[in-house]
Amino acid sequence: MAKVIAEYIDRLVNTEMRQMGGLPRGTTHQLYEAARRYHKDPLTYLAASKLIENIKPNDNVIIATGAGVPPWLPKGETDGPLGAASIARAIDIGLGGKPILVGEGRCMSPVAATVEAAGLMVCDEDLFSKRDHVAMTLEYPLGEEKGTKFAEELMSRFNPKAIICIEKHGPSASGKYHSIMGVGREPDTVANVKFLVELASSKKVLTIGVGDGGNEIGFGNIYDDVKRIQKYGPKCQCPCGAGIGTVTKADVLVAAAVSNWGAYGISAMLAFMLKKLRLIQDVDMEYRMLEASIRAGAMDGLYTDMSMYVDGTSCETQKSIITILREIVSNALVEQPRHW
Ligand SMILES: [Zn+2]
């Protein structure tokens, strides 16, 4: 039954409604279909079931997020922090796992504010080790050299049982990073989380990538499809010419219309599989999470301002996605039909 539920959760979170003109249209279903061909099973089912298999109480889990660079997105986007906070919360309440959030230093105050709005206090390592319903945030240093060292430090210091990347860009074949519109970025302007994912992968630690464009960690699984589907897939707008698609793979790729929604889909599947509806945040919490991220400086990736939007979709839409996800899960958890 879980696969049937996930089939429709996958479809809901892959409903494309981005504004015309600003971002590519008509790509969401193609990226999703390619990811399904690669993985066979529904994507949110795969991610949730592997998290349940791999995370035991008190296991550390690293969640990476943070997209956007100054001057347009000086503290990052609203897409990413909310998904990361939703998953962090579901892992804490549902599995007793310990969430550690990492990303560019410039993005971490919105991430921390969002995680707290989701009910987990952000604290230091001492308190983190002593109680539940808390999270830690760490700055992932910019650049390749520091990024490699930090990946090694994270693995040895925390022994994480899963690495989850939400809207976290991975490099193209040239080693450069690219926006969805094909604008190139040097590795020393971003957190190179790919080193963490590659190291975790070599140690057989679960890796999950959630993304919406093809340039995020995980889309390396369907590299040739991204090249074919995205406008700047075959060739970027920068001199490297490699195209926007990332080469960085993950054990599970969750493709979605908005990365946050992919993460909410995983939380919803955890809610269904662990029979606890509250693992997926409610609409009031969703509102608080979005507001908190923006008050702390996150901006909508399309409008690049501090309005209550995510990837050009309104706050009402975020709440509607949550409403439908919760309805799917709560109706699926009914064992005897209700009579009115
Ligand atoms: Zn390029």
User: DSSP string of 63-86?
Assistant: EE-----TTTSTT-BSTTHHHHHH
Alpha carbon of 233 to ligand 1 centroid (Å) = 10
Q: Give the predicted TM-score (pTM) of the model.
A: 0.97
Nearest in space to 290 (alpha carbons), one of 39, 87, 83:
83
Determine the 3-state secondary structure of 122 from DSSP: strand
Alpha carbon of 231 to ligand 1 centroid (Å) = 13
* Residue 338 placed within a domain: no
Alpha carbon of 241 to ligand 1 centroid (Å) = 5
Alpha carbon of 180 to ligand 1 centroid (Å) = 11
For 146, the enclosing helix (H) or strand (E) is helix 144-158
Q: What's the domain count of the chain?
A: 1
Give the DSSP letter of residue 212.
Answer: S
Using the predicted structure, report yes or no on whether residue 22 has a pLDDT greater than 90: no
Nearest in space to 230 (alpha carbons), one of 215, 217, 248:
215
* Residue 339 placed within a domain: no
Q: Do the bridges between strand 177-178 and strand 184-185 make them parallel or antiparallel, or are there none, so unpaired?
A: antiparallel
Beta pairing partners, 162:
61, 206
- Helix and strand numbers, DSSP H then E, in the chain: 12, 11
Distances (CA, A) of 67 to 104, 180, 189, 270, 272: 9, 11, 11, 25, 30
Report the alpha-carbon distance of residue 99 to residue 288 in Å, rounded.
20
Alpha carbon of 176 to ligand 1 centroid (Å) = 6
Are 92 and 128 in contact by the 8 Å Cβ rule? The answer is: no
Are 14 and 28 in contact by the 8 Å Cβ rule? The answer is: yes
Alpha carbon of 171 to ligand 1 centroid (Å) = 10
Alpha carbon of 169 to ligand 1 centroid (Å) = 14
| Lookup: tokens for 77 | 């986007």
Are 177 and 215 in contact by the 8 Å Cβ rule? The answer is: yes
Give the DSSP letter of residue 94.
Answer: I
| Lookup: tokens for 134 | 């808390």
Report the alpha-carbon distance of residue 75 to residue 68 in Å, rounded.
8
Alpha carbon of 227 to ligand 1 centroid (Å) = 13
Q: If you search the block for the tokens 């309104």, which residue do you land on?
A: 314
Residues 175-212 have pLDDT tens digits of: 999 999 999 999 999 999 999 999 999 999 999 999 99
Alpha carbon of 234 to ligand 1 centroid (Å) = 10
Alpha carbon of 95 to ligand 1 centroid (Å) = 40
* Residue 340 placed within a domain: no
pLDDT the model gives residue 24: 81
* Residue 259 placed within a domain: yes
Determine the 3-state secondary structure of 245 from DSSP: coil
Alpha carbon of 191 to ligand 1 centroid (Å) = 18
Residues 202-238 have pLDDT tens digits of: 999 999 999 999 999 999 999 999 999 999 999 999 9
Using the predicted structure, report yes or no on whether residue 9 has a pLDDT greater than 70: yes
Alpha carbon of 71 to ligand 1 centroid (Å) = 20
Alpha carbon of 165 to ligand 1 centroid (Å) = 22
Alpha carbon of 247 to ligand 1 centroid (Å) = 13
Residues 107-125 have pLDDT tens digits of: 999 999 999 999 999 999 9
Higher pLDDT, 20 or 148: 148
HSE-CB of 155 using CA atoms within 13 angstroms: 20
Alpha carbon of 214 to ligand 1 centroid (Å) = 14
Grade residue 335 by pLDDT with cuts at 50, 70 and 90: confident
| Size of the chain, expressed as the number of residues it contains | 340
Are 85 and 316 in contact by the 8 Å Cβ rule? The answer is: no
* Residue 187 placed within a domain: yes
Largest distance between two CA atoms of the chain = 64
Alpha carbon of 188 to ligand 1 centroid (Å) = 15
Alpha carbon of 311 to ligand 1 centroid (Å) = 23
Domain range for 285: 2-332
pLDDT the model gives residue 340: 59
* Residue 51 placed within a domain: yes
Which domain CATH number covers 292? 3.90.1640.20
Alpha carbon of 252 to ligand 1 centroid (Å) = 26
Nearest in space to 83 (alpha carbons), one of 253, 265, 298, 291:
265
Alpha carbon of 182 to ligand 1 centroid (Å) = 7
* Residue 61 placed within a domain: yes
Report the alpha-carbon distance of residue 181 to residue 22 in Å, rounded.
9
* Residue 266 placed within a domain: yes
pLDDT the model gives residue 226: 98
Report the alpha-carbon distance of residue 241 to residue 237 in Å, rounded.
7
Alpha carbon of 178 to ligand 1 centroid (Å) = 6
Alpha carbon of 216 to ligand 1 centroid (Å) = 15
